[in-house]
Structure 1
Amino acid sequence: MNPSVFYALAAAALFGASTPLAKWLGVEVSAVLLAGLLYLGSGVGLTVIRFVRDRGWRKSGLTATEWPWLIGAIAFGGVLAPVALMFGLSRTTGATASLMLNLESVLTAVLAWLVFKENADRRIVLGMVAIVLGGIVLSWPQETAAAHDWTGPLAVAFACLCWAIDNNLTRKVCASDALFIAGSKGLAAGVVNGGLALAFGAQLPGFTTVVPILLVGLLGYGISLVLFVLALRGLGSARTGAYFSTAPFLGAVISIVILGESVSLLFLVAAALMALGVWIHLMENHAHEHQHAALNHGHRHVHDEHHQHEHNFDWDGAEPHSHAHEHLPIRHSHPHFPDIHHRHKH
């Protein structure tokens, strides 16, 4: 399996589990404060991990042109999206919210294709259609009064849009240190959301409630985002979003098993359509002759066909390793994704 696919699926598993667990843990906590605590757990935990890894503080390595992309990603994905999601969770079932989160992959792909000009494969488009149809079935009004309350699903949909913008902005900086990117987003989002909640009168829950929330945040929002950034390097925004759309299925299963939520016929039909869309994405094979332009960047790599460069330092031969390096122009053909080396036009 392509390591980037594994990163995306692992990120999906962690995030999918965090959604119903956040609903369960946050019963007595306001939406804004819960979002702040989740991201604070992510930011603090990842910062400590990075500090230990580097044996001290190390500069981010981001260039002046990359900082605006990261700041925008933090604003949309770290501040607006979690608040909208927590609000939506308070007005819909965890299973419904979990499956509605499939819209994130659709919106990520649409923005990637239309705004950021990432190539759109026919198979990916068909898969997205299946996921959208699943979302429509899932939102179809039912007989219960709660089913006619659109505020919950609409809030979750808005969160998906914010995360879609975040995903495409993060793609611009994904070659940089994934721990720094995810940790910075967690710290900023945690401080902003937590500060706002406390300023408007929210009360911190007890220690026995805070610690599990912070842990869920570290795993479901922190480690998950690190893996997502690594997947962006190798798959691009649309494909990573497609693999990540498996997250709601795990979240829905946990909601049903642990929270005891019921399963309707529409829920099963929606799940089948969304599963079909994910399967179509997994079967994609994209190959053609393409031209690589000259490129200078730094990231963890091995000396494959795209990394035939010399070293201007003493190298012990260990791989993979990370350093700034130059890619010379090359033209060839092989199966590939719109990763950090294949962002060419078609």
Structure 2
Amino acid sequence: MRLPVSPAIGMALGAAALFGASTPLAKIMLGQISPWMLAGLLYLGAGFGLAVLRFSMRWSGKAPAEAPLRRADLGWLAAVVLSGGVAGPLLLMLGLQYSAGAEAALLLNLESALTLGLAWLVFRENVDIRIGIGAAAIIAGAVLLSWWMPVGASGPGVMLIAAACLCWAIDNNLSRRLSAADPLQIAMIKGLVAGSINFGLALSSGASVPAAMPLAASLAIGLFGYGISLVLFMLSLRHLGTARTGAYFSLAPFIGAALAVALLGEPLEWRLLAAGVLMGLGLYLHLAERHSHEHRHEAAAHDHAHVHDEHHRHGHAPDDPPGEPHVHAHRHGTLVHAHPHYPDIHHRHDHMG
């Protein structure tokens, strides 16, 4: 049975569009800002921008119901910040110095393939034959991009961007552990901490703070391409799981490559089109997924935003918040049933075969 179209798919594609647009824009900024400084400014823009947004929403009473981070989440959050917030953007900024903008944008498809590989092989998320073939098509497109190097590209650029993709793939899989918590809070903390670290290291290495206009532009790119994009990505992780969210996120390089051609005047080569066809096929196979079987929900207790659907038939204490969605600690009883589902926070069960 085909899975229903989830609103989280739109969130994942929105995250991809924002992040994809940030790559060629960051390439433009590298002409005026050092790579390390730019990596710091992008995440500071995300952190400060989301802090203002979060404060405004709470002050106006329009903040959505979300579970806050708990003490047990802090170790996972630290790993996410270091891998995806510090190492990933720095390696990308260094790689952009050696690579054309369109090439760099499309090579970022490696992030989706590596995310899927880690989710499947290391974190044991279910990946069926259709999802596997889709991933193979995405990987084939990435290999095509790195095999025929255009004039001006170099091995170091490809290796640095691939290393950045690996850091983000690790980040994506670890972020799944945090997906029940407030995504705005997570993205804000990640931006502020990672941005401050890279900004401080850039200053200590002799980099200078850019002039007002490039500074403002870098912060704005960071807010949308790294901040709001990450919030949407975290929400998608909650409902779709890591592998599927990573697959939808593979749209990002198409956005980046198109902007690189339009904004930077880079040539539209046959290999970019061929890679696009392969990656588009992979994305289609993920969109056409079917997954329904009898499965068992073990008894569990946790805390996250929810409504009272078939997975939330619990009672309430007098001090639990009214209305839906709402947030409070609740317990799930054992449940066995069958329906179409994604590997969301309630469907991370084992599969036979």
TM-score, normalization by structure 2:
0.93
1:144-179: CA deviations, max 9, x gaps?
A: 3x24x1111111110000000001111001101111
Residues 1:181 and 2:186 aligned together: yes
Residues 1:140 and 2:147 aligned together: yes
8 Å CA contact 2:67, 2:305 repeated in 1: no
Range that drifts further, 43-52 or 9-18: 43-52
2:72 match: secondary structure: coil
CA distance in 2, matches of 1:35, 1:154: 18
Structure 1 stretches of 4+ with a deviation exceeding 6 A read none
Out of 5, 10, 26, the residue aligned to residue 9 of structure 2 is 5
8 Å CA contact 2:42, 2:218 repeated in 1: yes
CA distance in 2, matches of 1:315, 1:109: 38
RMSD: 1.9
For residue 32 of structure 1, what is the aligned residue in structure 2?
36
Stretches of structure 1 that go unaligned for 5 or more consecutive residues are none
For residue 89 of structure 1, what is the aligned residue in structure 2?
96
Residues 1:172 and 2:177 aligned together: yes
Out of 151, 155, 164, the residue aligned to residue 160 of structure 2 is 155
CA distance in 1, matches of 2:196, 2:163: 22
Stretches of structure 2 that go unaligned for 5 or more consecutive residues are 61-65
8 Å CA contact 1:14, 1:220 repeated in 2: yes
1:86-142: CA deviations, max 9, x gaps?
A: 111111111111111111111111111111111111111101111111111111234
For residue 290 of structure 2, what is the aligned residue in structure 1?
285
Q: CA deviation at 1:233?
A: 0.4
CA distance in 1, matches of 2:207, 2:157: 21
**Matched residues, percent identical?**
54
Q: CA deviation at 1:261?
A: 0.8
Range that drifts further, 20-29 or 215-224: 20-29
Out of 65, 75, 93, the residue aligned to residue 68 of structure 1 is 75
8 Å CA contact 1:60, 1:180 repeated in 2: no
Q: CA deviation at 1:313?
A: 3.1
Alignment of 1:289-300 (within 5 A): 289-300=294-305
CA distance in 1, matches of 2:150, 2:218: 34
1:249-277: CA deviations, max 9, x gaps?
A: 11111111111110111111111111111
Range that drifts further, 314-323 or 336-345: 314-323
Q: CA deviation at 1:312?
A: 1.1
Out of 35, 49, 54, the residue aligned to residue 45 of structure 1 is 49
* Residues matched between the structures, number: 344
Residues 1:242 and 2:247 aligned together: yes
8 Å CA contact 2:68, 2:185 repeated in 1: no
1:290 match: secondary structure: strand
8 Å CA contact 1:183, 1:222 repeated in 2: yes
CA distance in 1, matches of 2:12, 2:326: 21
1:275-298: CA deviations, max 9, x gaps?
A: 111111111111110000112222
